[in-house]
Structure 1
Amino acid sequence: MTQTDLLISRLGHRGDGIADTDKGPIYVAGVLPGERVRAEVTGDRARTFELIEQSPDRIDPTCRHFGTCGGCAGQHLDEAAYLDWKREQVTRALNDRGIDFPVAEVLAGAPGSRRRAVLTATRAGRAIVLGYHEKASHRLVDIAECPVLDPSIVAALSGLRRLSAQVAPRKGDLRITVLKTKSGLDVALDQADKGYDRKIPALSQMAVEMDLARLSVNGETILEIRPPMIDMAGVGVVPPAGGFAQATEQAEIQLSDLVLNGIGKAKRVADLFCGAGTFTLRIARRASVHAVEGEAAALKALDKALRVPNGLKKVTHERRDLSRRPLVKHELEPFDAVVFDPPRAGAQAQAEALAASKVKTLVAVSCNPATLARDLRILIDGGYALQSVTPVDQFLYSPHIESVAVLKRE
């Protein structure tokens, strides 16, 4: 281990400062471009450092856990520099695939707006530690606050610890998914101790005391006091317990507006990787939609929502693993526009099929700039032209960034 003076030249995609040296890049967590540090270096990483020269972009973080908790990477950046860093991640990913295209300004998120959280709990003797993992570690940070979460979730942390104490396994972690809905918090506990059924009366009582909308354990609904409802364009949807939902309501609206603007006046739209209908139900206010999703529970939630009179245009749906069996050329022919919002791994197989199609308009939604750029490269090589790329900061202070790209067939 050696002590070295370093000048930080840039931020990496994970939020680490990077010093470019003769021996290659050295990564320093918690520092900013333009800063000089004296660091203890092992390999390509600095484990500890002394700040010698501070960047004017540095601000005080808002959370006491910042620097230990691995959830946030950008609380020490002022807003302009922070948004530039998020935008640069998208630009750099496109450039890495040979795509030179101007990325729009980031649509900013807001503190205290995250309605969905995935927490971890584990036993530490007789106590329960609940929170997020430290960066690049299996150790948990026992959180007392979180500036990104909706206040109702923060207020429930003590109750979540009590629930966790009932069902956390003796060894290993308990996964806790919390979703704020219109009717209260929806809490799903997964990887619980196999003997949790003996605790159902106690769990039910705690759910009542916390006024939860629904409590489930290992996929089993323990108690539903009220259906945990999310409003999607005036349609009530009850998502599956622990299932996917957009992390913030603000970002859901921003993403949906970009999708709707992207498809324009299309009359027949395919919504691929549709989930429980985030975009499907909004598109169906103006066009007929064929929704495709691989997860049965999400599609069941969409189907149930569609059974209530809602004034939508025609919506059909299909369960299908699009990564293994994408919609192909003849199946895509009926559609004027296709929207696709895959998981982080992207939609390579579906992008290849779309590249061979004649669909006029494509809208790609992605939470991973690298796989988005890969899929856009496939589509551009297939004759599509990029019209816009807009980042949406759904994951405030974290290294992650959502984006919406619109393409037209040339």
Structure 2
Amino acid sequence: MKLTIERLGHLGDAIAQGPEGPIFIPGMLPGEEVEGTLAGGRLTDVRILTPSVMRVKPPCPHAKSCGGCLMQHAADDFVAEWKLGIVRGALAGQGLDAPVRGIKASPPQSRRRATLAARRTKSGALIGFHARGSDVIIPVPNCQLLHPDLMAALPGLEALVKIGGSRTQELTCTVTRSAAGPDVVVMGGKPLDGQLQLELARVVEAHGIARLTWGDEVVALRANPVQRMGPSTVVPPPGAFLQATEHGETSLLAAVSEALGPQKRIVDLFAGCGTFALPLAQEAEVHAVEGDSAMTGALDKAARQASGLKKVTVEARDLFRRPLEPDEFKSVTGVVIDPPRAGAEAQMGPLVQSGVPVIAMVSCNPITFARDAKVLLAGGYVLDWIQVVDQFRWSSHVELVGRFSRPHMQR
């Protein structure tokens, strides 16, 4: 069967119109003519008859087998416009429109955090990403996504898997780049006993791992895995949220700072370990609210140890179940809100009622961003602009910052 690709879906699959409806074909681009065998709404054994001018040679040798990247076959300009289109489409789905600025994309080999699959084998250890739609682990010794420091950590991860893994149980290894070396969390390993802990500690020393968390227990701490946030150094709890690339974090922070402008008192909702709160505290008082008490503890400690910050207060609070109420925004001049993918639907109503003059909303999900934005706009706010950030290169993920203001609001 011959088909012509019409468009890409929001997850990156190409879509063509078949005799009985849409057909999904991974790895293709709009305008391409392809031929293959139709099987249950998908085309298999695909052959490209007419390639797109936007098709490029994937920069990574693992691109065809590894499921870590979906869009290496497309030119950067195409991917950028596709991701901007995802944001515009999400807004249109809620009947909204706003100026969408260009995209700021993180460079190759810049991911500072990754979760890898691993398994002990007869001859050693297997570690990498899953093949797309499969539990098969694909080794990625020449990965063009991960930061060189993460690539250098792979031998240490393999050593941990050889000692603490099994041939029947898959492990997940989350590794984060830090100033003191890799910060590693391993899940699914053998139960800890004295001998295993001793052997793991030896691997930590031999491979320069800063901290090793096995399951829920920190089993070795060679050095604090510090992260710099503004003028502060933070020691995040194991597995804590961190922006995927330094470039992405810098881009998001720049957009948030521009959106807020000069402020006296800021509330940072879903503050994490202080990605925005600590840099913003150089110019304004900040109250940081986060549901994870371990993260608020790390933020508070970093703020107390830093110099040159204005007053920083923290609060551990589940904003899904107990959002901040309107009267709790008294004297607040600006808000930063950076919810997880589910968005912050429960917080939108109180935010509207609070009348805070300016809001910088950060989002990793354009769909829930648009839903929540609609509530703010219905309450009198204006969506001034959106800055799109792509720190998950070659994937379907999109992040953004939106600036909301309330014209003529009297406080």
Quick check: TM above 0.5? yes
Q: Which amino acid aligns with 1:267?
A: K
CA deviation after TM superposition for structure 1 residue 374, in Å: 1.1
Asked if 1 retains the 8 angstrom alpha-carbon contact of 2:115 and 2:174, the reply is yes
Gaps of 5+ in 1: none
Asked if 1 retains the 8 angstrom alpha-carbon contact of 2:231 and 2:306, the reply is no
- Deviations along 1:254-293, one digit per CA (max 9) or x if unpaired, are 1111111111122111000000000000110111011000
- Structure-2 residue corresponding to 1:357: 354
1:22/1:333 CA distance change after superposition, 3 Å: farther
- SS of 1:121's partner is strand
- Deviations along 1:73-115, one digit per CA (max 9) or x if unpaired, are 1111111111111111111111111112231110121011111
- Deviations along 1:308-355, one digit per CA (max 9) or x if unpaired, are 141100111100010111111111233111111111111111123212
- Deviations along 1:345-366, one digit per CA (max 9) or x if unpaired, are 1111112321232111111101
> For 1:372, which of 364, 369, 372 is the aligned residue?
369
Q: Which amino acid aligns with 1:212?
A: I
- Structure-2 residue corresponding to 1:323: 320
* Cα distance in 2 for residues equivalent to 1:337 and 1:41: 54
Asked if 2 retains the 8 angstrom alpha-carbon contact of 1:170 and 1:193, the reply is no
CA deviation after TM superposition for structure 1 residue 159, in Å: 2.2
* Cα distance in 2 for residues equivalent to 1:197 and 1:367: 41
- SS of 1:307's partner is helix
* Cα distance in 2 for residues equivalent to 1:248 and 1:89: 21
- Structure-2 residue corresponding to 1:296: 293
TM-score by length of 1: 0.95
Asked if 2 retains the 8 angstrom alpha-carbon contact of 1:167 and 1:196, the reply is no
1:178 paired to 2:175: yes
Asked if 1 retains the 8 angstrom alpha-carbon contact of 2:338 and 2:362, the reply is yes
Aligned 1:92-241 pairs, distance under 5 A: 92-125=89-122, 127-169=124-166, 171-195=168-192, 197-241=194-238
- SS of 1:7's partner is strand
- SS of 1:117's partner is strand
CA deviation after TM superposition for structure 1 residue 197, in Å: 4.5
- Structure-1 residue corresponding to 2:247: 250
* Cα distance in 2 for residues equivalent to 1:350 and 1:145: 44
> For 1:51, which of 35, 48, 52 is the aligned residue?
48
1:391 paired to 2:388: yes
- Structure-2 residue corresponding to 1:35: 32
- Structure-2 residue corresponding to 1:269: 266
1:15 paired to 2:15: no
> For 1:405, which of 402, 407, 411 is the aligned residue?
402
* Cα distance in 2 for residues equivalent to 1:365 and 1:116: 20
> For 1:81, which of 57, 60, 78 is the aligned residue?
78
Gaps of 5+ in 2: none
Indicate the percent of aligned positions where both proteins have the same amino acid. 41
RMSD: 1.5
* Cα distance in 1 for residues equivalent to 2:333 and 2:212: 41
22-31 or 361-370, larger mean C-alpha shift: 22-31
Asked if 2 retains the 8 angstrom alpha-carbon contact of 1:32 and 1:55, the reply is yes
CA deviation after TM superposition for structure 1 residue 143, in Å: 2.2
CA deviation after TM superposition for structure 1 residue 124, in Å: 4.7
Q: Which amino acid aligns with 2:196?
A: K
> For 2:21, which of 12, 19, 24 is the aligned residue?
24
* Cα distance in 2 for residues equivalent to 1:242 and 1:157: 18
> For 1:64, which of 36, 61, 64 is the aligned residue?
61
CA deviation after TM superposition for structure 1 residue 162, in Å: 1.6
- SS of 1:163's partner is helix
TM-score by length of 2: 0.95
* Cα distance in 2 for residues equivalent to 1:44 and 1:347: 35
* Cα distance in 1 for residues equivalent to 2:283 and 2:366: 29
- SS of 1:342's partner is coil
Asked if 1 retains the 8 angstrom alpha-carbon contact of 2:94 and 2:371, the reply is yes
* Cα distance in 2 for residues equivalent to 1:63 and 1:23: 36
- Aligned residues, how many? 407
Q: Which amino acid aligns with 1:7?
A: T
Asked if 1 retains the 8 angstrom alpha-carbon contact of 2:99 and 2:384, the reply is no
